[in-house]
Structure 1
Amino acid sequence: MKVYFSVLLLLLISSVVHAAEINFQNILQQERAWAGLESKSLKVGDIEWRYSEGGSRTKPTLLLLHGLSGTRDNWNRVARYLTPYYHVIIPDLPAHGETKTPDNFDLSIPNLTEKLRRFADAAQFDPNMHIAGHSMGGAIAMLYAAQYPIEVKSLLLVDAAGVYKSANTPYLKSPEQLRNIVVEKPGDFDRLMKIAMQAPPFIPQELKVAQEKLMITQSKNTHKMVSTLVEMSKLYTPESFAMATRMIDAPVMIVWGKDDQVINVEVAQELHGLFKKSDVPLILNGVGHMPILEAEQLVVQPYLKFLNTIK
């Protein structure tokens, strides 16, 4: 009887967890639809891309890139205000979200950038794009603009990763510290939110558990990504990073959370001084590392005005 009860209890727990996962995916799909996005897939080489697409292809194209351990859904709140006016593309970057890669995939920023270019070409997106990147996605956006200058109309950089002189957080001084914020066991998600956001939005417990479980399953890839970033930090200096940044001709908008604990706000002014065409950085008080989730309207309204100035 005890064995039967234990099996029944395990089946019940399993069904509840499965139902929570289904509900989580349903809510993500609803959020994408609310933002005017559809979920799509495309195989390019050895990468099975999953991405969100919305807005008319007859309108200018925006490519939005998420950060380390993030997903395309980090941009949904911002995308809601963009899809009525632009053709919006938001991929899950390789080894993130639902995009699948081989086990031995090269996760370096240069390779991610090159594979992103192949993805855009295979999907036949307008090659003359506006690109926005958050955190690690910002580093990819900058390299993309430096390598493919005639294909980038503008850049939006939100708390963008890079190699900076004014770095003073543990995660910039020693990228190895990023391992301490990888979600790999229950409880880590709450700890990450306290570091990444100054004022985390309310998340129902059921969805929080499902999100944490998803990130735990991806923790191996996240650790691989951190290892790649650690190696790159040894190869690049603030001077070599600045040299690449100065090559970018596209207009740039910089947004930063004043209370960012991951990439300190002083970096925004340093970046501003490197670009040929950069607006004065927009600094958001009371906001941490995730302005696109913490204060999306404070990001998107100035961004729309910025885009309207691009010819």
Structure 2
Amino acid sequence: MALDPYRLVRLEFTRERLAAGLSSASIDVAGHRWVYAYNDDAPRDAPVVVMIHGFTGMKENWYPLAQRLRGRYRLLIPDLPGWGESERRAGADYGFVAQAARVDAYIRALSPDRPVVLLGHSMGGGIAAVTAARHPREVARVGLFDAAGVRFRDNAFGREVLAGKNPFAVTDAASLRRYIDTVFHDPAAKPAVPWPASVGVIERRRRDAGFEQRVLDRIGRGPERFVPGDDAARIRQPALLLWCRQDAVIDPSALALYAARMPQAQQVLLDGCGHMSIVERPDAVAAAVSRLADPP
């Protein structure tokens, strides 16, 4: 039987999860089967922190941060419906509003008696903003990291999205390298994807191309693209806005646009990192999350 190259990627993800001290589970919520990582080592009264990944992302993006937060907070890190190991349903809506409703249901299922600290990265930041605004009972505090959903200063990524392209598309080794170089700025943080694991990643991304394009058309240039920024004006919870100065995806001008709508938010601008702040600067992000989750 031929070896599935993506199995090597899954094995590496399992190794990373175990190294971060996380367990794995699944749950049926909001019409989808969710797969998620979690850690319950914290005291029973510790804040519950839920982490929502971005476009083309997955729960594994959060593992470096989770490793630094475990033991202090209860951690819930799902693959969003449609992404990663979670269920994808043909014809379903995976835009900001629909996913926010699903995240609300996920929180109610897994933290029914306690509102959570909700963190979102990139697309997940947009989803977190909508969730906090429209479902405030479930969200005690919210952190938006390199978040989509506002009209930031023009950059190459944004121009390609508006032209109907997917700047994150991966079809071969060259486009995989371009993808990694786009989302990461710090060379030391860029993941190595050696052959034959790279073959598995490329094949999977090719299969997902149509799905990715449909989601991007909705959240990047469709009627929902600015819903998170509009909803952010209704967020009253304590909040954190965190960006990297060298973000080539969601230009850091977005931080000020969100801050204008969320004057209560702490603002953090990190240097020497790109779009993947949660991977490139996990120590600094962990410190900022602690200030949000454990106010004086």
Alignment of 1:1-311 (within 5 A): 14-15=2-3, 18=4, 20-56=5-41, 58=44, 59-164=46-151, 166-172=152-158, 175-177=161-163, 179-200=166-187, 201-206=190-195, 207-230=197-220, 232=222, 234=223, 242-279=229-266, 281-309=267-295
Tell me: higher relative CO, structure 1 or 2? Use CA pairs within 8 A at least 6 residues apart.
Answer: 2
Q: Tell me, what secondary structure is at the counterpart of 1:248?
A: coil
**Contact 1:176/1:226, CA 8 A, preserved across alignment:** no
Counterpart Cα distance in 2 of 1:144 and 1:119: 11
* Structure 2, gaps ≥5 residues long: none
What displacement does 1:154 show? Answer: 1.1
Counterpart Cα distance in 2 of 1:243 and 1:202: 34
Rg bigger for which structure? 1
One-letter identity of the residue aligned with 2:192: I
One-letter identity of the residue aligned with 1:77: P
Q: Tell me, what secondary structure is at the counterpart of 2:167?
A: helix
Query: What number of residue pairs does the alignment pair up?
Result: 290
One-letter identity of the residue aligned with 1:203: A
Structure 1's 121 and 199: CA in aligned 2 closer, same or farther, altered over 3 A? same
Residue range with higher mean Cα deviation, 129-138 or 206-215 = 206-215
**Which protein has the bigger helix share?**
1
**Contact 1:246/1:276, CA 8 A, preserved across alignment:** no
Q: Tell me, what secondary structure is at the counterpart of 1:187?
A: helix
Q: Tell me, what secondary structure is at the counterpart of 2:243?
A: strand
Counterpart Cα distance in 1 of 2:218 and 2:233: 24
Structure 1's 126 and 52: CA in aligned 2 closer, same or farther, altered over 3 A? farther
Which structure 1 residue ranges, 4+ long, deviate > 6 Å from structure 2?
A: none
One-letter identity of the residue aligned with 2:213: H
Q: Tell me, what secondary structure is at the counterpart of 2:148?
A: coil
One-letter identity of the residue aligned with 2:37: S
What displacement does 1:294 show? Answer: 1.4
Structure 1's 245 and 187: CA in aligned 2 closer, same or farther, altered over 3 A? same
Counterpart Cα distance in 1 of 2:79 and 2:52: 8
One-letter identity of the residue aligned with 2:203: K
What displacement does 1:45 show? Answer: 4.7
Counterpart Cα distance in 2 of 1:202 and 1:180: 19
How high is the TM-score relative to the length of structure 2? 0.89
Structure 1's 208 and 301: CA in aligned 2 closer, same or farther, altered over 3 A? farther
What displacement does 1:173 show? Answer: 5.1
Structure 1's 235 and 114: CA in aligned 2 closer, same or farther, altered over 3 A? closer
- Identical aligned residues as a percent: 23
**Contact 2:160/2:166, CA 8 A, preserved across alignment:** no
How high is the TM-score relative to the length of structure 1? 0.85
Q: CA RMSD in A?
A: 2.2
* Structure 1, gaps ≥5 residues long: 1-10
What displacement does 1:174 show? Answer: 5.9
